[in-house]
Amino acid sequence: MSDASDSGPLSRYSEAEIPTAYGVFRIVIYRHEATGVEHVAMVRGPVEGGVDVLTRVHSECLTGEVFHSLKCDCREQLDLALRRIGEAERGVLIYLRQEGRGIGLGNKIRAYALQARGLDTVDANRALGFDDDPRRYHVASRILEDLKVQSIALLTNNPDKIAALRRDGVLVTRREHQVEPHEFNREYLDTKRVRMGHLGDESTEPGDEDDEELDRLAARGAE
C-alpha cells in the first residue's frame, strides 16, 4: 500500500530555500505523476557530484512528527538527521510519503489498537493483511540520481533500506546509527530489532572493509 510507487514519471516540481532551526536548506518537491503524491528532498549545501554525502531516507509519520506520539522514534530520527546534516553543512534528507511503514495513517491507527490488545507491531500488521514492512525506496533512489549525488553515508538502523538502495544502484559507503530507545518506544524498537532485523549502534566507518560489512547488512535486509 506504500505511496512511494516507482511506476510512472517522477518530476522535480518546485524548490526554494527555507530557513530552519538546523540551518538554511533547499527544499525540493518531487511529484509522482501516476499518484499525485509529492515527496520532499531537504538539501543542505552543495551535493551535486558529492561523495559520502550524509543522507537520511525518512518515511512520513504524522503521529510522531506532528502530534509528538511517543510510540515510535520517528520524530527523534527526523530531528537528529536534520541536525546532523545541518552541522555537516552538506547532506540530503529525503522525506517519503509512506505513512505507517507503508500501510497508511488509518491502518496504522488500526494497528495501534491491535497493539493495545497485546499484539506487537509485526503481528498487528499481519492481522490487518499487510507485510511487516511494505515500504519501497525507488523514489529515494531516483531523487538521489536527480540530485547527482555520487555516494552516501546513510543514517539508518534498517538493513532493508541499505539493501533496497543498493539494488537500485545507490552507492552506500557507510551507515551511521540513529537514536536510542526510551521507555515508551523500547518494546516497539526491540520488536523491530528482533523480528525485523533492525540494527543497533554498530555504525560502519569508511575503509576497505565497509563494502563487506554493508553487503552483510544488506543481505540481512534481503532475507
* Catalytic choice (56, 75, 135, 142): 135
What is the rounded distance in angstroms from the CA atom of residue 90 to the CA atom of residue 182? Answer: 29
Average pLDDT, the chain: 83
pLDDT level of residue 134 (50, 70, 90 thresholds): confident
Residue 143 lies in a domain: yes
What is the rounded distance in angstroms from the CA atom of residue 223 to the CA atom of residue 219? Answer: 6
Residue 157 has pLDDT above 90, yes or no: no
How is residue 25 written as a grid cell?
536548506
Residue 38 has pLDDT above 90, yes or no: yes
* Catalytic choice (3, 73, 120, 133): 133
Residue 2 lies in a domain: no
Which residues 6+ apart lie within 8 Å of 118 measured at CB? none
Residue 47 lies in a domain: yes
> How many domains does one find in the chain?
1
What pLDDT is recorded for position 34? 87
pLDDT tens digit sequence for 163-194: 999 999 999 999 887 566 555 445 545 554 54
- The 3-state secondary structure of 103-161, one letter per residue: CCHHHHHHHHHHHHCCCCHHHHHHHCCCCCCCCCCHHHHHHHHHCCCCCEEEECCCHHH
The model's pTM? 0.80
What is the rounded distance in angstroms from the CA atom of residue 54 to the CA atom of residue 66? Answer: 24
Are 47 and 90 spatial neighbours (Cβ–Cβ below 8 Å)?
yes
How is residue 44 written as a grid cell?
543542505
User: The domain containing residue 56 runs over which residues?
Assistant: 10-214
> Is 133 part of the annotated catalytic residue set?
yes
What is the rounded distance in angstroms from the CA atom of residue 209 to the CA atom of residue 98? Answer: 33
Looking up residue 97, the CATH number of its domain turns out to be 3.40.50.10990
What pLDDT is recorded for position 189? 52
